[in-house]
Amino acid sequence: NTMLSWQRTGYHFQPEKNWMNDPNGPMFYGGWYHFFYQYNPDAAVWGNIVWGHAVSKDLIEWLHLPLAMVADHWYDTNGVWTGSATLLSDGQVIMLYTGATNESVQVQNLAYPADLSDPLLVDWVKYPGNPVLVPPPGIDDRDFRDPTTAWYGPDGKWRIAIGSKVNKTGISLVYDTEDFKKYELIEGVLHAVPGTGMWECVDLFPVSLKEDNGLDTSFNGPGVKHVLKASLDDDKNDYYAIGTYSLESGNWTPDNPNLDVGIGLRYDYGKFYASKTFYDQNKQRRILWGWIGETDGESADIKKGWASVQSIPRTVVFDKKTGTNILQWPVEEIKSLRKSCKKFDKLEVGPGSVVTLELEKATQMDITAEFEIDKEALKRIGESDMEYSCSTSGGSAQRGELGPFGLLLLADEGRCEQTPVYFYVAKGTDGQLKTFFCTDESRSSLANDVDKRIFGSTVPVIKGEKLSMRILVDHSIIESFAQGGRTCITSRVYPTKAIYGAAHLYLFNNATSANITASIQTWAMKSAYIRPYSSHAF
């Protein structure tokens, strides 16, 4: 349907057509990045789930390959669900995934490449002894899914984690195995948090406290912390916490129990779910992929014939400056799509004003922006006990002394459509400044059958730092990163007027009493070459 084709993205990963959800089994093998994903080959809605497969040299340009696995056995006939890859030191590739059986029981299955000498790993074999794991006593048949990448212990055994729940307590179980065929449940749980419900797509990985590189999933020892992530089925958000994982006890414990998994930090405060990391041994980094669904109605998805995109892969590191969060940043390869740079240096914007940033095309962009609040206004600001919150405080239209200010994305000339991404600074009753980073979708589209939420969170700012944001705009998606990736917000928006050449970019300052100085760089982005599968290519 050409009517809706402007919503398709130019450089985000998506299949040619139909429904996609979770990222599955990402890995670097045979000189290629492999990416698998939950896919419905028949329709633009969830169902008939199989594994799509694509490969890339740089995580940006992709070649679609034939489906890697379809629902062809009793143990996955109701769906080849989410799973993860493990690379063994002898060169083997282990793929573990959840199957929904003929009776809709969730079981874990083993698969491996048919031919390890094929760098594209086109053909996959399911282990004849599947399933390798069924729900243990006390766990509901429908609450046992999404095995992680395995990590190796000094006892010569591998371990995997699987998400579940008991009553309303979200939990992760851990099994050990020597051959990926026989498993033993480790006593106790990896971790449990009451009230968080079913944990989908659990992820556990080490981060270095000192170095900038990523760590192999099996890495542990001094100078390392472990991030534990769960995707909460109840509210469809990805929550993480930083803590310590002990191989001896088999448990993970959060650094700060008040910010435990499911009650504290999120990877992203917008639309971002069922994410998964992998260790990229090619460039010694850890990379995060997240599923970004639609926020329009199901009938709109059916009409346009496709649903969902994947996030731009993000490099993940521990934030050494704050010590309390991770940093997420688009992989460096994305810069290869940048063309025609424009610089706007030290623009001063008074309270209540909007400045046009002249560009040729504002639908496909990479943007960096730095903001400074004038010093007098910072001194003047009174303490307010008003509890500001991105989602409940009236969005970009609600004015305070020191904000909101930021950018208006995908805006038409009359600005009846616009998506503001902004900072808001408030002084708490303790005299401390608090910075919020938000996205306001309330005027993002004239269409009325789409979600228009206002979301965001606080972002830590260290003394002496400027406020900074990075934004990737791609037709119907806006991925925003504040302070180097401490707080991230992904937004799906469906402008009807602000499309193609009619989309513009503006700088705004809606504070009541502060001047803002902004320095901005924008790059128009080329489209990524995401090629359909053709057998002629081989």
So which residues are the catalytic ones?
22
492-512 b/e (C-beta count within 10 Å ≥ 16 → b): bbbbbbbbeebbbbbbbbbbe
Measured between alpha carbons, how far is 171 from 186 in angstroms, rounded to an integer?
Answer: 13
The owner of tokens 């199901």 is: 298
What size, in residues, is the chain? Answer: 538
Exactly one of 9, 21, 177, 196 binds ligand FRU (CB under 6 A); which one? 21
Q: Is the CB of 4 or the CB of 45 nearer to ligand FRU?
A: 45
Tell me which residues in 133-152 interact with ligand FRU (CB under 6 A).
145-146
Surface-to-core class of residue 98, CB atoms within 10 Å of its CB (0-12 exposed, 13-18 middle, 19+ buried): buried
Tell me which residues in 181-210 interact with ligand FRU (CB under 6 A).
200-201
Exactly one of 14, 86, 98, 308 binds ligand FRU (CB under 6 A); which one? 98
Q: Is the CB of 96 or the CB of 498 nearer to ligand FRU?
A: 96
Q: Is the CB of 82 or the CB of 295 nearer to ligand FRU?
A: 82
Exactly one of 7, 13, 15, 22 binds ligand FRU (CB under 6 A); which one? 22
Q: Closest distance between ligand FRU and the C-beta of residue 250, in Å?
A: 23
Q: Diameter of the chain by CA atoms?
A: 72
Measured between alpha carbons, how far is 27 from 91 in angstroms, rounded to an integer?
Answer: 13
Query: Which amino acid would we find at residue 133?
Result: L
- The structure tokens listed for 358 are 């002249």
Tell me which residues in 369-388 interact with ligand FRU (CB under 6 A).
none
Q: Closest distance between ligand FRU and the C-beta of residue 82, in Å?
A: 3
CB of 348 closer than 8 Å to CB of 515: yes
The owner of tokens 């199957």 is: 99
Q: Is the CB of 12 or the CB of 145 nearer to ligand FRU?
A: 145
CB of 513 closer than 8 Å to CB of 380: yes
Q: Closest distance between ligand FRU and the C-beta of residue 231, in Å?
A: 6
Q: Is the CB of 7 or the CB of 38 nearer to ligand FRU?
A: 38
Q: Closest distance between ligand FRU and the C-beta of residue 289, in Å?
A: 13
CB of 339 closer than 8 Å to CB of 522: no
Question: Is residue 437 within the footprint of ligand FRU (CB under 6 A)?
Answer: no
Q: Is the CB of 49 or the CB of 482 nearer to ligand FRU?
A: 49
For the beta carbon of residue 353, count every other beta carbon within 10 angstroms: 15
Concatenated DSSP letters of 284-344: TEEEEEEEE---B-HHHHHHHTEE-EEPPPEEEEE-TTTSSSEEEEE-GGGGGGEEEEEEE
For residue 471, CA distances in Å to 39, 309, 424 come to 28, 17, 17
Q: Closest distance between ligand FRU and the C-beta of residue 44, in Å?
A: 15
If residue 300 lies in a helix (H) or strand (E), which one and from where to where? helix 298-304
Q: Closest distance between ligand FRU and the C-beta of residue 408, in Å?
A: 32
CA angle 56, 316, 143 (to 5 degrees): 85
Tell me which residues in 30-89 interact with ligand FRU (CB under 6 A).
38, 49, 81-82
Q: Closest distance between ligand FRU and the C-beta of residue 145, in Å?
A: 5
- Which is it for strands 306-307 and 18-29: parallel, antiparallel or unpaired? parallel
Q: Is the CB of 146 or the CB of 203 nearer to ligand FRU?
A: 146
- How many residues touch ligand FRU under the rule CB under 6 A: the total is 12
Measured between alpha carbons, how far is 149 from 538 in angstroms, rounded to an integer?
Answer: 30
Residue numbers at the binding site for ligand FRU (CB under 6 A): 21-22, 38, 49, 81-82, 98, 145-146, 200-201, 274
